């Protein structure tokens, strides 16, 4: 396996993702091939679902976090109201149009109880679809020590029953040993991702966010063992390189908010075009996916409890009532990455994020004097002009003209 | 509020033949918890969370959202939703919650709330998040308790979790009231609630009859007022009993409520609660009669079992609430109720901005049509008075379709 | 040497020329169907009005919704910053700006140094825009745009036009006309509706005096009066300049700074 051959000092990350891109282009064919050999493909949406359980059952996890496609979000209106969020309309829309090959390859779905929009997706899948749908109950009141013991216990129980269902579906019971192996694999992936993003530190990373985001999202689709190899390759090729001393004068931005799906480029592109620079994100499809390992108890102790702990407390989704923790975490991210402005991305009709906007605005302005810009949008290109003006004005406001 | 001169309802037709109804309604609209029971902590409670538990813990549960909304509708105050948007609330929200937030965030009218509480489930994101927002805006405690999703194979696990949540919820409210809440208090509250739930079941039976003694508008408002029963459950139960007597009197005389024609088309409504109260008049004006609706069903669809430990029975009852059921189960459950009321048509009510059941309206509509074999009309409403012509038009078309 | 600010809006293109002693010349033309050429044209016209030549122009800044296609400009800047700068120049006490243009409306909050600290642009809806007033006046009420202010002053009552949607609002006005509501009252109602829509945005960024209104609609005294009532605060308009030119003026002022800093430095 060859990494990027020539080291380009002017652009130290040139060619870094070529190998990954090539591999990803073959993914659909590889999944189809694995299916031929009897391997099952499990599709899921929200990152509360421990992939370890799917992997431990010898199946292929695919996170169906696609977005940004107007056509599918409109097609979803055949079943969902136009005032449902574009993510949920797309989830349904891809099935209506049949144009997303990953959806087509899925053998069964896992749906976590997160928000009303996703609930409707589950209802649609159950009612209109012959493929099995496994539900996973998720406690949402995890904001304090108050409910922690019973939340973990309940979630553990739900994971246990999902494990049984997946075992049955995959044709063999899922043993603790299998889960431990899967935990090791996923922990390795998370560690590599953290290394890549933070190399050599969060402020002066070698990769720009657009590349790191792409790397993360490749991990939603790709065979996880191969993905780890790709990450190792990238890791090897960046070791020893020095990041450019930053003097590009671009405004350092944190992009936070609603799901930024694979293919949802509108806002990141506009930020780039208008002279901003995303340095990190706080969304459920981004860097947060590599946050925290499953603890060592996952390897030597109670696997299910260790999984419950990791997955319950590390996703930045406002369907949870742990608002204070998320506020603090956001403020830490802002400091760690020397953020100068926050873009709060709200997909229309994503209620949970939208309701918390005034709280975040107030908190960030009071605590950190941090400017924040709300962008409410969907997958239609019609608002590109207005959003461009908003982001440009926001940058002028932060930077001066 | 003087109902005769209330600006928001000038165009609405009420049943002037009933004695007890206006009394219950005025008392509801004029209610101010701090005046009624100044010594009690007022706990804001969502319309889909049972009030029994809060009442048992010695506090006053207050369905603040419904109360503020109906006050606004009756008084003709149509500026609250815009005021909410001025305060950074989304313009794409369900109008019920916009009005609630507008009343709370904008108007410093000493809305007397000491605590915010809500159940957290997969059924009311806008409300739970709005409560969180309001509690924060006014530095009040926000107490939540989880209702785990309904999934038959997880029953034991979920109920165990839910019981622990309810017990902690009682402890937290009690910590604020200083009340030492025991099983006895909970049983008493459940019993008081059951009496009122029984009253509503009684009224539903009257609506299932051939001659319907109660108009849709009054029926809807009774459901709403019952949801906030714990202000004074005993008093409300005696008023409801008097009302039921009045209605039974009409039944004995084969007399339907004024405004209902003979052999009317029987209509059942399900879906989102509409702010357009004109809908109820419109149905009757076009030759129909309302025989039931599911808006407040979660609160009174069945009695809480009083023979077992109250926490256990409450947990089971809450877990089985229709709004917590997955679509398939919910439809089956609702079909049983709908069939009891013998409708000729079902209206599926959608509120623009709601992400509830009607988010997946098409599946609901298909299932209803399929299982009932009667016409299903889908309507969509926004703020009051914005949909009157459209509703009249659609209801008339439905009636003509059924009447041939 | 002179600098030029060009503001290419959806209905009109404006240009302001500044010389070293801060003398101001300007030009306004309709944007027509080609904002890029309107920008070029108004630029040339303003320079001509100033009796300078194109060769004397040292720096040009384009703003407005057509700014992206202004190839003649050294730099583009958003309307937000330009209106902020222009308003601050005309009245340093300005803390809040309401700008209603042809196609959108904006609320801008300034600090005591005239720096933009918050802003809002209306998202999707046309009901708080100059275009809405224009179509309602000319197509529904059959009156001239410039007469709206005087007409509304004669209103005896202000009917409520409740629809947030421009299409429905026009239907509503048609039916009010049919019931015999006098045109001047309807104009007052129309002004209130526009002020109410835009005020919401102003409230969201926080109202601080002095409030200045800019943009073409600021020439309509009826709208100003409606804003005063809606926001319960005095609203001023630039006295020594056409309010439509504030954006172009701001662009020219920024251009002047840029020219001084060799076109690269920050302001």
- What does the alpha-carbon distance between residue A286 and residue A352 come to, in Å, rounded to a whole number? 18
- Judged by CB atoms closer than 8 Å, whether chains meet at B132 and A321 is answered as yes
Q: What is the mean pLDDT of residues A56-85?
A: 95
C94-237: in CATH 3.40.50.150: no
- Judged by CB atoms closer than 8 Å, whether chains meet at B386 and C162 is answered as yes
Local confidence band at C266 (pLDDT 50, 70, 90 cut-offs): very low
Local confidence band at C263 (pLDDT 50, 70, 90 cut-offs): low
Local confidence band at C34 (pLDDT 50, 70, 90 cut-offs): confident
Residue B73 domain-assigned?
Answer: yes
Task: Name the range with the highest mean pLDDT among B96-110, C81-95, C180-194.
Answer: C81-95
C198, C107 contact by CB (below 8 A): yes
- Domain containing residue B136: CATH number: 3.40.50
Let me know if the fold of C1-91+243-267 is the same as that of C94-237. Answer: yes
Nearest Cα of chain A lies from the Cα of C119 at a distance, in angstroms, of 8
Nearest Cα of chain A lies from the Cα of C142 at a distance, in angstroms, of 31
Residue B58 domain-assigned?
Answer: yes
- What does the alpha-carbon distance between residue B388 and residue B163 come to, in Å, rounded to a whole number? 45
Q: From the list B88, B385, B386, which residue is nearest C204 (CB)?
A: B88
Tally the domains of chain B. 1
Instruction: Using a pLDDT cut of 70, give the percent of chain B over it.
Output: 98
**Domain architecture of chain A: domains with CATH:** 37-174 (3.40.50.11890)
Residue C130, pLDDT above cutoff 90: no
Local confidence band at C22 (pLDDT 50, 70, 90 cut-offs): confident
Nearest Cα of chain B lies from the Cα of C163 at a distance, in angstroms, of 8
Nearest Cα of chain B lies from the Cα of C263 at a distance, in angstroms, of 38
- Judged by CB atoms closer than 8 Å, whether chains meet at B88 and C162 is answered as no
Residue B163, pLDDT above cutoff 80: yes
- Residues C45-87 have pLDDT tens digits of 999 999 999 999 999 999 998 998 899 999 999 999 999 999 9
Measured from the Cβ of residue C160, the count of other Cβ atoms closer than 10 Å reads: 12
Residue whose pair of structure tokens reads 């993702």 in the numeric block: A17
Local confidence band at A2 (pLDDT 50, 70, 90 cut-offs): very low
- Judged by CB atoms closer than 8 Å, whether chains meet at B125 and A349 is answered as no
Residue B27, pLDDT above cutoff 70: yes
Q: Which of B134, B148, B162 to mutate to test the interface with A (most CBs of A within 10 A)?
A: B148
Least confident of A259-268, B225-234, B244-253: B225-234
| Mean of the per-residue pLDDT values of chain B | 92
Q: What is the mean pLDDT of residues C140-147?
A: 88
Short-list A218, A216, A220, A25, CA closest to A106:
A220
Residues 47-76 of B with CB under 8 A from A: none
Q: Which of C123, C250, C255, C259 to mutate to test the interface with A (most CBs of A within 10 A)?
A: C123
* pLDDT at residue A4, rounded to an integer: 39
* pLDDT at residue C125, rounded to an integer: 65
| Mean of the per-residue pLDDT values of chain C | 90
- Judged by CB atoms closer than 8 Å, whether chains meet at C204 and B87 is answered as yes
Residues in chain A with CB shorter than 8 Å from the CB of B126 are 351, 355
The CATH number of the structural domain formed by C1-91+243-267 is: 3.30.420.40
Instruction: Using a pLDDT cut of 90, give the percent of chain C over it.
Output: 61
* pLDDT at residue A163, rounded to an integer: 97
Enumerate residues 6+ apart whose C-beta is below 8 A from B215: B14, B15, B257, B258, B259, B260, B280, B284, B290
- Residues B280-290 have pLDDT tens digits of 999 999 999 99
Residue A1, pLDDT above cutoff 50: no
Residue B22 domain-assigned?
Answer: no
Q: What is the DSSP letter of B305?
A: P
Local confidence band at B403 (pLDDT 50, 70, 90 cut-offs): confident
Residues in chain B with CB shorter than 8 Å from the CB of C200 are 82, 85-86
> Which has the higher per-residue pLDDT, C127 or A52?
A52
* pLDDT at residue C68, rounded to an integer: 87
Residue B103, pLDDT above cutoff 50: yes
Short-list A229, A250, A232, A265, CA closest to A384:
A265
Short-list A219, A211, A318, A316, CA closest to A268:
A211
Domain that holds residue B122: 33-178
Per 3-state DSSP, what percentage of chain C is helix, strand, and coil (rounded to 5)?
Answer: 45, 20, 35
Q: From the list A123, A323, A361, which residue is nearest B132 (CB)?
A: A323
- Residues A150-186 have pLDDT tens digits of 999 999 999 999 999 999 999 999 999 999 999 999 9
Q: Does B253 touch chain A (CB under 8 A)?
A: no
Residue B246 domain-assigned?
Answer: no
Task: Spell out the domain ranges in chain C.
Answer: 1-91+243-267, 94-237
- Judged by CB atoms closer than 8 Å, whether chains meet at C162 and B85 is answered as no
* pLDDT at residue B107, rounded to an integer: 67
Residue A33, pLDDT above cutoff 50: yes
Residue B21 domain-assigned?
Answer: no
For residue B81, give the chain C residue with the closest CA.
Answer: C200
Residue B142 domain-assigned?
Answer: yes
* pLDDT at residue C265, rounded to an integer: 40
3-class SS of residue C42: helix
| Mean of the per-residue pLDDT values of chain A | 92
Instruction: Using a pLDDT cut of 70, give the percent of chain A over it.
Output: 95
Residue B102 domain-assigned?
Answer: yes
Local confidence band at B173 (pLDDT 50, 70, 90 cut-offs): very high
């Amino acid at each position: 396996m060859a990494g990027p051959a020539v080291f380009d000092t002017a652009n130290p990350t040139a060619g870094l993702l070529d190998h990954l891109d090539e591999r990803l282009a073959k993914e659909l064919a590889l999944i189809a091939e694995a299916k031929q050999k009897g391997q099952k493909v499990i599709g899921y949406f929200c990152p509360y679902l421990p992939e370890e359980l799917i992997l431990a059952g010898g199946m292929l996890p695919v996170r169906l976090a696609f977005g940004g496609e107007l056509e599918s979000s409109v097609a979803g209106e055949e079943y969902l109201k136009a005032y449902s969020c574009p993510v949920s309309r797309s989830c349904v829309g891809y099935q209506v149009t049949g144009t997303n090959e990953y959806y087509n390859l899925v053998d069964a779905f896992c749906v976590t109880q997160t928000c009303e929009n996703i609930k409707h997706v589950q209802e649609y899948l159950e009612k209109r679809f012959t493929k099995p749908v496994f539900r996973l109950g998720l406690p949402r009141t995890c904001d304090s020590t108050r409910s922690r013991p019973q939340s973990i216990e309940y979630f553990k129980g739900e994971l246990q029953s999902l494990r049984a269902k997946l075992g049955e579906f995959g044709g063999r019971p899922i043993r603790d040993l299998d889960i431990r192996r899967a935990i090791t694999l996923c922990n390795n992936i998370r560690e590599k991702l953290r290394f890549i993003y933070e190399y050599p530190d969060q402020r002066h990373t070698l990769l720009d966010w657009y590349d790191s985001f792409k790397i993360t999202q490749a991990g939603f689709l790709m065979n996880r063992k191969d993905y780890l190899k790709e990450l190792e390759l990238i890791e090897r090729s960046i070791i020893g390189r020095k990041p450019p001393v930053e003097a590009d004068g671009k405004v350092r931005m944190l992009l936070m908010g609603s799901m930024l799906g694979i293919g949802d480029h509108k806002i990141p592109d506009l930020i780039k075009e208008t002279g901003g620079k995303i340095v990190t994100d706080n969304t459920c499809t981004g860097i947060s996916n590599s946050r925290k390992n499953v603890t060592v108890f996952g390897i030597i102790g109670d696997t299910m409890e260790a999984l419950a702990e990791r997955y319950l407390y590390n996703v930045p989704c406002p369907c949870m009532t742990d608002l204070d923790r998320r506020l603090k975490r956001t403020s830490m991210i802002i400091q760690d990455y020397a953020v100068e402005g926050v873009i709060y991305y709200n997909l229309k009709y994503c209620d949970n994020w939208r309701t918390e906007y005034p709280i975040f605005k107030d908190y960030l302005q009071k605590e950190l004097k941090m400017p924040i810009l709300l962008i409410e949008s969907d997958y239609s290109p019609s608002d590109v002009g207005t959003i461009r003006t908003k982001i440009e004005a926001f940058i002028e406001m932060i930077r001066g003209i | 509020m003087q109902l005769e001169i209330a600006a928001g309802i000038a165009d609405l037709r009420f049943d002037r033949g009933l004695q007890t109804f206006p009394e219950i309604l005025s008392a509801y609209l004029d209610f101010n918890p701090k005046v009624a029971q100044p010594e009690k902590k007022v706990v804001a409670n969502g319309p889909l969370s049972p009030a029994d538990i809060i009442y048992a813990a010695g506090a006053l549960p207050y369905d603040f959202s419904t109360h503020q909304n109906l006050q606004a509708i009756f008084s003709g105050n149509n500026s609250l939703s815009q005021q909410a948007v001025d305060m950074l609330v989304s313009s794409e929200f369900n109008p019920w919650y916009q009005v609630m937030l507008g009343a709370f965030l904008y108007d410093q009218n000493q809305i007397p709330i000491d605590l915010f509480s809500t159940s957290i489930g997969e059924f009311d994101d806008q409300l739970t998040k709005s409560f969180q927002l309001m509690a924060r805006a006014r530095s009040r405690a926000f107490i939540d308790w989880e209702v785990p999703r309904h999934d038959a194979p997880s029953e034991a696990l979920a109920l165990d979790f839910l019981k622990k949540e309810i017990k902690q919820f009682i402890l937290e409210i009690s910590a604020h009231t200083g009340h030492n809440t025991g099983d006895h208090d909970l049983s008493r509250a459940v019993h008081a609630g059951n009496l009122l739930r029984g009253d509503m079941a009684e009224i539903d039976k009257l609506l299932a009859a051939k001659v319907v003694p109660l108009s849709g508008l009054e029926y809807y408002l009774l459901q709403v007022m019952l949801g906030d029963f714990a202000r004074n459950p005993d008093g409300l139960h005696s008023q409801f009993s008097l009302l039921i007597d009045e209605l039974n009197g009409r039944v004995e005389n084969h007399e339907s409520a004024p405004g209902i024609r003979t052999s009317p088309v029987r209509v059942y409504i399900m879906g989102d609660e509409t702010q357009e109260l004109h809908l109820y008049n419109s149905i009757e004006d076009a030759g129909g009669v309302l025989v039931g609706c599911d808006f407040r069903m979660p609160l009174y669809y069945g009695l809480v079992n009083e023979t077992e430990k109250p926490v256990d029975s409450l947990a089971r009852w809450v877990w089985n609430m229709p709004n917590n059921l997955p679509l398939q189960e919910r439809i089956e459950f609702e079909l049983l109720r709908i069939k009891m009321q013998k409708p000729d048509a079902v209206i599926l009510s959608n509120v623009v901005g709601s992400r509830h059941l009607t988010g997946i309206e098409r599946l609901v509509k298909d299932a209803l049509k399929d299982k009932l074999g009667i016409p299903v009309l889908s309507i969509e409403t926004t703020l009051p008075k914005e949909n009157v012509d459209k509703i009249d038009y659609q209801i008339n078309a439905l009636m003509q379709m059924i009447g041939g | 040497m002179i600098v030029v600010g060009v503001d290419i809006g959806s209905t009109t293109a404006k240009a302001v020329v500044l010389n070293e002693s801060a003398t101001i010349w300007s030009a306004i033309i309709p944007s027509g169907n080609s904002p890029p050429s309107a920008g070029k044209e108004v630029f040339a016209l303003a320079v001509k009005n100033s009796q300078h030549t194109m060769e004397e122009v040292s720096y040009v800044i384009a703003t407005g919704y057509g700014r992206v296609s202004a190839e003649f400009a050294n730099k583009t800047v958003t309307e937000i910053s330009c209106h902020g700068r222009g308003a601050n120049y005309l009245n340093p006490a300005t803390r809040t700006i309401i700008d209603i243009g042809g196609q959108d409306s904006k609320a801008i909050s300034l600090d005591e140094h005239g720096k933009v600290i918050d802003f809002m642009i209306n998202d999707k809806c046309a009901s708080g825009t100059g275009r809405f007033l224009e179509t309602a006046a000319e197509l529904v009420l059959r009156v001239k745009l410039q007469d709206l202010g005087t007409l509304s002053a004669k209103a005896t009552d202000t009917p409520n036009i409740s629809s947030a949607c421009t299409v429905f609002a026009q239907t509503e006005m048609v039916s009010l006309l049919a019931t015999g509501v006098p045109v001047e009252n309807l104009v007052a109602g129309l002004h209130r509706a526009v002020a109410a829509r835009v005020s919401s945005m102003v409230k969201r960024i926080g109202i601080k005096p002095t409030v200045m209104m800019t943009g073409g609609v600021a020439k309509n005294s009826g709208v100003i009066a409606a804003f005063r009532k809606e926001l319960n605060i005095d609203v001023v308009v630039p006295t020594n300049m056409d309010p439509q030119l504030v954006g172009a003026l701001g662009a020219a002022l920024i251009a002047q700074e840029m020219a001084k800093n060799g076109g690269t430095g920050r302001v």
